[in-house]
């Protein structure tokens, strides 16, 4: 087994059943690996989104649900005063999001380890496919992430003491 990167059409990828010996097989494998790396970036985004949804204020979510269903006929003032049915309802909702987030995190870790093993075949084409898939996936799925860098507001010296 080579311990440096090489560029060849012969490769065994992840397991004995996934071997390639020609350019077309390598091409399809590269496309599959790009797709898997893009899926990994999409899963990262999904796990992030589920975490944000889990932490969201339950009153804000309840009000947005009630505003979307205008069939109740109540005024906006009364709708803003309505609360979720119970604390148990809020806890169940958060638990569902946490379970989903945990399951998707496991899938994310498994895919990440598989992609690491693909790079460890030291086939240059496959390593480039992993990098290309990660870049394309990040470009597609992280385009609208609300990442804000918050700067610390400088306080006068008298207030810091």
pLDDT digits (tens, 9 = 90+) for 12-39: 999 999 999 999 999 999 999 999 999 9
Least confident of 26-40, 43-57, 70-84: 70-84
How much is the pLDDT for 71? Answer: 46
Counting residues of the chain whose pLDDT is more than 70, the rounded percentage is 70
Angstrom CA distances, 131 to 92, 105, 124, 134, stand at 39, 20, 11, 5
Which pLDDT value is given to residue 140?
93
Q: How much is the CA Rg of the chain, to the nearest whole Å?
A: 24
Specify the length of the chain in residues. 161
User: Which residues is 11 bridged to in the sheet?
Assistant: 20
Contact in structure between 121 and 3 (CB atoms under 8 Å): no
pLDDT at 26: 96
Q: Is-contact 118 33, C-beta < 8 A?
A: yes
Confidence of residue 93 (pLDDT cuts 50, 70, 90): confident
Average pLDDT over residues 77-83: 55
Q: For a pLDDT cut of 90, what percent of the chain falls above it?
A: 48
- Cβ neighbors of 62 (< 8 A, separation 6 or more) are 82, 83, 84
The larger pLDDT score, comparing residue 28 to residue 88, is at: 28
Give backbone dihedrals phi and psi of 19, rounded to 5 degrees, phi first: -115, 150
* pLDDT at residue 56 greater than cutoff 70: yes
Higher pLDDT, 77 or 90: 90
């Amino acid at each position: 087994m080579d311990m440096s990167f090489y560029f060849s059409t012969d490769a065994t990828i992840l397991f004995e059943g996934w071997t390639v010996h020609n350019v077309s097989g390598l091409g399809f494998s590269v496309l599959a690996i790009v797709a898997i790396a893009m899926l990994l970036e999409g899963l990262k985004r999904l796990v992030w989104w589920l975490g944000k949804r889990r932490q969201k204020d339950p009153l804000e979510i309840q009000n947005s649900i009630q505003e979307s269903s205008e069939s109740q006929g109540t005024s906006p003032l009364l709708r803003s005063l309505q609360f979720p049915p119970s604390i148990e309802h809020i806890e169940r909702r958060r638990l569902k999001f946490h379970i989903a987030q945990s399951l998707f995190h496991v899938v994310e870790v498994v895919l990440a380890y598989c992609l690491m093993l693909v790079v460890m075949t030291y086939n240059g084409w496959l390593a480039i496919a992993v990098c290309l898939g990660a870049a394309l996936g990040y470009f597609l799925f992280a385009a609208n992430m609300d990442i804000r860098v918050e700067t610390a507001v400088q306080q006068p010296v008298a207030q810091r003491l």
